[in-house]
Structure formats: structure tokens, C-alpha cells
Amino acid sequence: MTKSTFVYVTFIKTTPEQLWTALTVPDFTKQYWFGMRHETDWKVVETEPPKRLVLRWRNEFKPELKAEGYSLCTFELEATGGAVKLTITHALDRPDSKFIEAVSGGWPRILSNLKSLLETGSIALTT
């Protein structure tokens, strides 16, 4: 079966520990996820703080995206010269996934906010 995959890489001037906190603490995520607070029991597929986090992820808001099932979202953090290289890989075992198409538009906006917040203390985009 062909996978649908989205990969995004950004460099953020922060530490791996600060970025890990920004990715995993609900009150922090709310600041750059357009007001959305993530509630989770953190049943992760794999975790290696502050280097790697793999989550099973399903869209719960749109029935057509929820019907595609669970995707895997992998966060990889690598310290590099005063910054952290963040690589997000979001994949679903389904060709031409509408869910992966949707996240490919969402991740760049969310990560732009995350980068701005960690580097300057304020977000770049409000909606």
C-alpha cells in the first residue's frame, strides 16, 4: 500500500528541552495552535525526551478525515549550533489522503507560530 506523507523541517533558536516543553505541555501549545488546547493521555508510540516523539493521530472534528483512521506523527529534535532542527513527518497508510493534505497546510502555519513564540515571545499568525 502506498503511504501519504508530509515532511516539514524548520530550525528554531532554542534548546531541545524548551522545544520539547513547547510541543508537549497543553498550556504552551495553546499559545501557538490558534487557541486550541490539546488534551491527551499521551499514549505515544515512541518517546525519547527531548529528541523524538511519535504519536498516533486522528482528526476528530471532520467525519471525512476521521474516517481515514490514525496517522503517525513523528517529531525529531536535533541540537545544531545554537538552534534545534525540528523535523515533523506525518504519514498515513493510505494513498491520496485528504487528512495528510489538510495537515500539509496546517503544519507550516503552526510551526511558524511556534518558531516566532520561542524566538521572540510572540506569535506571527493569529488565524
| Model pLDDT for residues 74-125, shown as the tens digit of each residue | 999 999 999 999 999 999 999 999 999 999 999 999 999 999 999 999 887 6
Top mean-pLDDT range of 21-30, 42-51, 65-74: 65-74
> CA triplet 74, 120, 20: central angle to 5 degrees?
25
Structure pTM? Answer: 0.90
From 3.30.530.20, 3.40.50.970, 3.90.1010.10, 3.40.50.2300, which CATH number describes the 4-120 domain?
Answer: 3.30.530.20
**Residue partners of 41: CB distance under 8 A and separation at least 6:** none
Given a cut of 60, whether residue 42 has pLDDT beyond it is: no
